[in-house]
Structures are given as C-alpha cells and as structure tokens.
Amino acid sequence: MTIDKTTHKPQTGKGPSLTEQEALDFHSRGRPGKLEITPTKPMATQRDLSLAYSPGVAVPVKAIAEDPAKAYDYTSKGNMVAVITNGTAILGLGNLGALASKPVMEGKSVLFKRFADVDSIDLEVDTTDVEEFINSVRYLGPSFGGINLEDIKAPECFVIESRLRELMNIPVFHDDQHGTAIIAAAGMLNALHLTGRDLKTTKMVCNGAGAAGIACIELVKAMGFASENVVLCDTKGVVWQGRTEGMNQWKSAHAVKTDKRSLAEAMEGADIFFGVSAKGALTDDMVRSMADNPIIFAMANPDPEITPEEVAAIRSDAIVATGRSDYPNQVNNVLGFPYIFRGALDVRATTINDAMKVAAANALAELARTDVPDDVAAAYQGNRPRFGPNYIIPVPFDPRLLSTIPVAVAKAAMDSGVAGKPIEDLEAYARSLSARRDPIASAMSGINDRIRRHTKRVLFAEGEEPQVIRAAVSFANQGLGKAILLGREDRILETADQAGIDLAKLGIEITNARLSKRTSEYADHLYEKLQRKGYLFRDCQRMINNDRNHFAACMVAMGDADGMVTGITRNYATSIEDVRRVIDVKPGHRMIGVSLALCRGRTVFIADTAVHEQPSAEELADIAVEAANVARRMGYVPRVAMLAYSTFGHMSGARSENIQEAVRILEKRHVDFEFDGEMSAEVALNGKLMEAYPFTRLTGPANVLVMPDYHAASIAADMLQELGGATLIGPLLTGLDKAVQIVPLSAKDSDIVNMAAFTAYAATN
Ligand SMILES: NC(=O)C1=CN([C@@H]2O[C@H](COP(=O)(O)OP(=O)(O)OC[C@H]3O[C@@H](n4cnc5c(N)ncnc54)[C@H](OP(=O)(O)O)[C@@H]3O)[C@@H](O)[C@H]2O)C=CC1
Ligand SMILES: CC(=O)C(=O)O
Ligand SMILES: [Mg+2]
C-alpha cells in the first residue's frame, strides 16, 4: 500500500486502505511492537520454580551435555528460528540500518508463528562488516533450530549465507534469496501453464541483480530455462559479458552475450519480467514491447516496478503479480519461509537444499490449481478464486499451505538424505500439521482416525449446493468415508464441472430422488409412521418425491445410507421436524444439541443448544446424561456442571430449584459420571473457586456445562465465540436412532465436512 503523506489516502491499490497514522498506531497500540514471549510451563508455585529453575533445571542440563540431541526434547530449540539481519536492504527501502529494520523482522517472526506455529525471535545485528556479522551469528547455533537471514544486501548476503551454511549444523536460509525464488518460480510455473509456454524456450528479463534477483534466476535455470534466454539487469542496465562497471562474481556468472545494454532493449519481445529492483523501474513502453500474453512479476516492496492498473491500461493480455496483498497474485516470500522451516524443523534437517526448494515450489504451484475451499474463499471476501490469470498462486491465508508445503519439504529432505529425524507416516504428519493451526482439526483427529478405519456411507442431502459438493469431495478425499450426494445428476455434475471436480474419480455417488427405484418403499415406510398423525398416503408420497430431507431420512432409516447431513437450505427447526417424521429418538434417550467450545486450550461441551427451550428437571437430567455421553465418546472424562446464576442454594430462585431437582434426579439414577450443581459458571470452570465448596462431587473444573435453558445455552455459546475467541463446533444432534447432523444455514464446506465426520462417527458406535 502506498501511503500518501499529505492526504493520508492510498494512491493505488484495491485492498483495504491505510494511512501512515494507522500504521504507526497499529505498532504502538498496547504493548509496543508485535511480539511477546510467553512461558509454556506453569510458574505459579514454589515447586514449579524448583522444577523450572534451580535445582530441577540441572537435570536436563546434564542430559543435554551427555547427548546434544536431547536439546530437542528439553528445550525450545527444535521449534525456534532466529530472524537475523543487519538492515542493509530493508524491503526495497535500502540500507536504513539494523534498528530501523526491527518492525520488518518482528513481522517475519510473527508470520512464522501465525502461519506455521514456528516460534521465532528477531535479532538485529548492528554491523555492515561481513566478518563481524558472520561471527555474531555463527556461535548462536545452540539456541535455534534454524536461522532465517533477512534483508541483507547483495553481494554481502551471498558470502554471509554460504559461510554460515558451512559453519553451522542447522538450516541457514536467506529468505530474500531462496524464499522469493521459490514463490516466484511457483507462480511462474502456473503462468507458463496458462499461457501455453515451454520453459526451455521462454525468454525472461530479471531486473534486480541482488539477493532476490540472483536466486530467482539460479532457480529458474535449475528448473530448465536456457541461460541465453535469461537476461539480468541492474541499475547499470543489462549484465552483459565483458561489462566491468558495478559487477561482482555473482552477476558475472549470469552475464549474457548480447548487444543489448538497457532494460528497455532487453524487454523487447520478452515473455517474462521478474522485478526485484525498485518502484517504477518498468515503464509503459517496456510493457508494450513485450511478447503476447506477457508475464509480469513486479515484486519490489512496498511499491512494485509497475502497478497492475498501469499494466491494464496498456494491454489486457498480461498476467501480473506483485509482492503486495492488496492485488491478486501476491508473489511474496511469506508463502514460503514459515512452511519451509516447518518441514525442515520437523525432520531436523541439517540444511535446506535445492531439492527441498524445488519441492516447495512445485507443491505451491499445484495448490493453486486445486479447488478452493470456503475458508480460502473467505479471505477473498467471498469471491472464490479459480485457477487462472488472476489466481496463479495461493493466498497467504490459505489454510492448506500448512498441511501441504511442509510435507513436500520434509519428504524432499528425507529423500535427499539431510533429515536427522525422518518421518515415517507423512499422511499422519499432514494431519498433525492441520491440527497445529486449527483447534477443530485437533479435536477431530481421533474421530477422523476411527472413521477412516470403519468406512460409513454419509448422505449429503442438499447435494446440488456448491459448498455441499465441495464438502463431499473433501470428505472423500480425506478418506473419511463414502460420500453420497442427493440431487439431480445434471445439476450436480454441472456445478462440479465448473469447479473442476471429477466426482466419479473420487467414488462419490449421486442419488436422484426422482429416478430412485426405492421411492415407493420409502413412501410406505413414511406412511406407516405418519398414518395416525393425520397424514394420507398421498401426503407421504409427495414428501418423498419433493422433499430432500424426507427422502434422505428414509434412505438412512432403511439402510441405504449410514447417516445424513443437511441444513444449509432450511432453518434448523424445520430440518429437525423433517427428519423426526422419519427417524425416532433412540429408546431410552432424549434428542438434544451439544455444542463444543474450544477456547485457549480448553474444551467444554454446552447443552442443550438445539432442542429444549425451557427444560423441566427431568429433561435437564436427561440432557446431562446425553451430553456426558457425547463428551465420553469424544475421549473426555465428563465432569458435568448443572449451571445457574446461583451456587449451591446461595442467591437461589425459582429456576435454581428446578436445577437442584435435576441434580437429585441424577443422584437417584446413579449415573456413572461426575456431576454437581446448581452452580455458577465461574465456580464450575475455576478450580480455585471450587475449593470453597469442598463437598462438591466434581474433582476438577467442569467440562460439560448443562445450561438452565436453550436461551442461556445459545447466548453463552455465541458470547464465547464472539468475545472469548472460542471455536465452536455444533450443535451436534444426539439421541436419535440413526446418525443425523444438521448444520446451520451459514455452514461452510469445512463445517459440513466436520458434521459429516460426526455423522460417520455416530454410525460406527
Ligand atoms: N516479493 C517478495 O517476496 C520479495 C521482494 N523483494 C524486493 O526485491 C527488491 C530487491 O531486494 P533484494 O534483492 O533483497 O535487495 P538487494 O539490495 O540485494 O538488491 C537490489 C538489486 O536491485 C537493483 N536495483 C535497485 N534499483 C534498481 C533500478 N531502479 N533498476 C534496476 N535495478 C535496480 C540493484 O542494482 P545494483 O546491483 O546495480 O545496485 C541490486 O542489484 C526489493 O524491492 C525487495 O522488497 C525482495 C525479497 C522478497
Ligand atoms: C518480502 C520481503 O522479504 C522483502 O520485500 O524484502
Ligand atoms: Mg526481505
């Protein structure tokens, strides 16, 4: 974003605008800067102190002295990367010194954490002397799992990186060189694909012969570009064979035999422009002189060599990328370094070699060619990108980056023999990566593991809806079970086709209710259930023929599917009514809704968030039993709190008595889980406050919260999500005789996949 000092309005760009003051406020607000360090172990008691510090700490010290590899077990080393600079090439702003570079370096550290859960600290080294810099870094090896060098100018960066790589036994990676080259190469592969070019005959001009420029052309040549087709330029123009001014050995290695001397001359007929130089370096005339369908990557930061608007004003056949997030096609090393280090750290790679870089570039390129899930579409304000000239590279907020790029890097490290601790099961590794960033993925991992082993057929009742089709594809792709889409075949295939999805290849079945041979049996089944409830046979036939929920529920009831998911085209209450006409409550059970709230490492189950508006004492007791069952099925030992505004009779009111009665009912039933109440939420959740009630049956903070009514349950869940930052799953419907889940109208494809997984899971029990 260009910031105009006078008007405080952005001059160019299509994304959110920002002013200088906003940027300063962002950095100064609250605790200054963007980083803080938080402990991972409790430090509340004398005992904690004795363990964490003297005398306890001496034990891991001795263990590491005996076996250095133990540092990965007892310290943060294995997940810690230092971002180190001397501030000599801060973005495209030049040499503004070590201190001024700190906001960028803090930013890189934050991105490491945000995108790949790599812990990172920035170190600004105040010297431009190469030897001094090397000596400052070389002895830091024991502290870190890797070193990310950043914004160090060429040619010094080449010497610094190669010397440190020799001196240190952990990965040393100059992000501006290799990170940039990897991302640019990935975008370029896709742009070549779209324009039907062969890299062996494609002509490229790279403007900027510094850290980024040299690395970019080295990588594209390693990928197959002919040396004579790659012209390098710098502030003095073309780097030609025989030139002496402003040269160094790294530029010389790429000097070409040519009569061309200026960038303008080099650009005539060029297929690709890579800009890693400075703002405005590419002119309109140069763009005009390029070949048809030119590929223009103007990557200088914060302002590119030319803006996409400027290119669009000259010609319409260009594919344009920049380093910025406010234009399509952001070619920026943020897509690389977090994930490359994640993969390297996880296999304890001793280095990041070419095989790992090429693997990362290919994985990135491939990711952009696959269908985009709702989570990514959300990053585009709902405009779902499709592989094409305006979407050649994934966006930084694409959650799939974390589960794909590190896997490719780790595999390449293992295959090329630099992995100190190889990973045996890469699929399990990919799943664990998803869980790192996504608390839902973590909560789902046990469930998903089970349903992968016991294949169930899950029917997606609203099979013509695009997000349902994507969910079914993701469900099948992840091996979570067999997906069946209910709907008209031509509609479903057309929608799938538009998204580039081949349903047949994934074994996804389509059931068209209108053509089904089972409709009369389903109508009979429904009539049997409804004949004494005022329905004629004709009504039942109509429901089966015209209503997907009734048809789907009959399929499940009659064993043609193991479970169903519905809800995005009809409100929750209507969907429940539809399903309930066909499927009964399981004998001895009660149908309720349970929501899971995942908040700061804690999981609580909240009930009833779907069915009983004002439950009686008996119903509250049933809700407690059903919710405890859900918690137990998900691997938790239930501790149920019957919540109220009062605690054990203090501040008691009419509703509190209802809850006290529910507790007495649970006592009489001799249920096999811990429960107590009535109690306030703060007593239920806070072990210290609970100590004031030594008679309570709960042995620790509650993890199942039974709310006095639907209003309280729904409000509490929503507030946890909006104010507490909790991730919510559900409500999960439980207590029915068959596996059915209903998603909210606003459900994304990933929500539907999770509900489908719960459906399959319930069907395995
Ligand atoms: N999008 C991304 O992910 C990334 C973008 N970049 C951007 O690339 C640019 C260069 O960074 P980096 O390689 O680290 O810096 P360096 O200082 O190492 O190199 C800069 C190079 O650019 C050349 N240059 C500067 N101005 C011009 C100009 N007007 N015309 C032609 N060449 C010019 C310099 O020429 P000379 O050798 O003659 O001095 C030098 O070769 C920056 O704008 C940076 O923000 C960098 C890394 C990642
Ligand atoms: C993105 C980056 O690292 C740079 O512009 O220097
Ligand atoms: Mg940089």
- Give the residue numbers annotated as catalytic, written as ranges: 53, 108
ipTM of the modeled complex: 0.98
pLDDT digits 0-9 by tens, 150-180: 999 999 999 999 999 999 999 999 999 999 9
Of 3-7, 111-115, 258-262, 693-697, the poorest mean pLDDT is in: 3-7
**Å from CA of 473 to ligand 1 middle:** 43
C-beta atoms surrounding 547 within 10 Å: 16
Residue nearest to atom 28 of ligand 1 (CA): 235
User: Which H or E run includes 230?
Assistant: strand 230-234
Choose the residue to mutate in 216, 332, 393 for probing ligand 2, maximizing ligand atoms within 8 Å of C-beta. 332
Is domain 40-174 annotated with CATH 3.90.1530.10?
Answer: no
Of 413-427, 613-627, 642-656, the poorest mean pLDDT is in: 642-656
Res. 382: pLDDT tops 70:
no
448 lines ligand 1 (CB under 6 A): no
300 lines ligand 1 (CB under 6 A): yes
Choose the residue to mutate in 207, 276, 322, 330 for probing ligand 1, maximizing ligand atoms within 8 Å of C-beta. 276
pLDDT digits 0-9 by tens, 51-104: 999 999 999 999 999 999 999 999 999 999 999 999 999 998 999 999 999 999
CATH class of segment(s) 178-415: alpha beta
192 lines ligand 1 (CB under 6 A): no
Of 4-18, 60-74, 301-315, the poorest mean pLDDT is in: 4-18
User: CATH assignment of 448-582, given 3.40.50.10950, 3.30.70.141, 3.30.230.10, 3.50.40.10?
Assistant: 3.40.50.10950
Is the separation of the CB atoms in 480 and 451 below 8 Å?
A: yes
Does this chain's domain 40-174 share its CATH topology with 592-735?
Answer: yes
**Å from CA of 89 to ligand 2 middle:** 9
| Ligand 1 atom at minimal distance to the Cα of residue 236 | 38
Q: What DSSP line would sit under 653-711, residue for residue?
A: -HHHHHHHHHHHHHHHHT-SSEEEEEE-HHHHH-HHHHTT-TT-S-SSS-SEEE-SSHH
**Å from CA of 338 to ligand 3 middle:** 13
Task: Kindly report the backbone phi and psi dihedral angles of residue 120, in degrees, each rounded to the nearest multiple of 5, phi listed first.
Answer: -150, 150
Q: What DSSP line would sit under 520-560, residue for residue?
A: HHHHHHHHHHHGGGT--HHHHHHHHHH-HHHHHHHHHHTTS
487 lines ligand 1 (CB under 6 A): no
Residue 3 confidence (pLDDT) = 39
Cα–Cα distance measured from residue 668 to residue 314, given in angstroms and rounded to the nearest whole number: 81
Q: Return the SS3 of 731.
A: strand
266 lines ligand 1 (CB under 6 A): no
| Whether this model's pTM surpasses 0.80 | no
Q: What mean pLDDT do residues 347-352 have?
A: 96
Cα–Cα distance measured from residue 318 to residue 393, given in angstroms and rounded to the nearest whole number: 16
The shares of helix, strand and coil residues in the chain, as percent rounded to the nearest 5, are 45, 15, 40
243 lines ligand 1 (CB under 6 A): no
Q: What mean pLDDT do residues 642-667 have?
A: 91
303 lines ligand 2 (CB under 6 A): no
Is the separation of the CB atoms in 347 and 355 below 8 Å?
A: no
User: Which fold would CATH assign to domain 592-735?
Assistant: Rossmann fold (3.40.50)
Residue nearest to atom 2 of ligand 2 (CA): 91
Cα–Cα distance measured from residue 546 to residue 578, given in angstroms and rounded to the nearest whole number: 12
Domain ranges of the chain: 1-32, 40-174, 178-415, 448-582, 592-735
Tokens standing for residue 74: 């007892």
